[in-house]
Amino acid sequence: DAGITQSPRHKVTETGTPVTLRCHQTENHRYMYWYRQDPGHGLRLIHYSYGVKDTDKGEVSDGYSVSRSKTEDFLLTLESATSSQTSVYFCAISINGNYGYTFGSGTRLTVV
Amino acid sequence: GIQVEQSPPDLILQEGANSTLRCNFSDSVNNLQWFHQNPWGQLINLFYIPSGTKQNGRLSATTVATERYSLLYISSSQTTDSGVYFCAVVMGNDMRFGAGTRLTVKP
């Protein structure tokens, strides 16, 4: 989507290895989010950020950490990937956290 | 936490038919949004509708916040309407999604 990019788009990794997903925005939005999408669950919030170095946990944060050292970048790290973390990960941005959400194209992560 | 339920889970239509998708939520919310996820996985924001009615072409949405539900209407459906429709409610800084309605429009 215009103004928000995720990398990589696809990744296969082995159980126990660390993985970092990147979300980059050019909209200068304050809020950034990481969601995971699994069949039957819709999208579930992992972590979000409401400013540089300001982050908070979401509904399914166990096993994940995030960092935001610049307005434009929000990183999601799986310290030691597990098969249960196989999913499609979406990043989203919002002007004020209340409306105007824009989603990235997603990262398909497979942990084998 | 807040519960968001969508119905029906699956819907199959012939092209040209109309449909209504429903979203129920369990608590007061700051905002409600409808999204369409196309068959390629892209999520598109359809409506930001905390209350009232909005229309955009063949799509319209109504939210009755006091009764905690929202409806998405699709008229004269087209094959390009296929995909999954999600409603999501915002409380504070958290947006919670329903499980979605998978719509298939057949030519």
Contacts of B92 in chain A (CB under 8 A): 97
Domain ranges of chain B: 4-106
pLDDT tens track for A38-93 = 987 889 999 999 999 999 999 899 999 999 999 999 999 999 999 999 999 999 99
The answer to whether B15 contacts chain A (CB < 8 Å) is no
Q: How many domains does chain A have?
A: 1
- State which amino acid sits at residue A91: C
Exposed / middle / buried, residue A2 (Cβ in 10 Å: 0-12, 13-18, 19+): exposed
- The fraction of chain B above a pLDDT of 90, given in percent, is 86
**A2: confidence class by pLDDT, cuts 50, 70, 90:** low
Query: Which runs of E-coded beta strand occur in chain B?
Result: 4-7, 10-14, 19-25, 31-37, 43-48, 52-56, 59-64, 69-74, 83-91, 94-97, 101-106
Specify the pLDDT at position A99.
Answer: 74
- State which amino acid sits at residue B8: P
**Neighbour tally for A81: CB within 10 Å:** 22
- The fold for domain B4-106 equals Immunoglobulin-like (2.60.40)
Q: What are A71's two structure tokens?
A: 């307005």
Distance separating alpha carbons of residues A61 and A78, to the nearest angstrom: 10
Contact B31 A99 (CB under 8 A): yes
Specify the pLDDT at position B93.
Answer: 72
The answer to whether A39 contacts chain B (CB < 8 Å) is no
Compute the average pLDDT of residues B8-33. 94
Peptide bond just before A18 cis, omega within 30 deg: no
Residue among B71, B67, B87 at smallest CA distance from B18: B71
In the stretch 45-84 of chain A, residues with CB closer than 8 A to chain B read: 45, 48, 50, 56, 58-59
CATH code of the domain containing A74: 2.60.40.10
Distance separating alpha carbons of residues A56 and B102, to the nearest angstrom: 31
Q: Is A31 left (phi over 0), alpha (psi -120 to 50) or beta?
A: beta
Residue among B101, B97, B103 at smallest CA distance from B4: B97
Compute the average pLDDT of residues B34-57. 94
Range of the domain at A76: 4-111
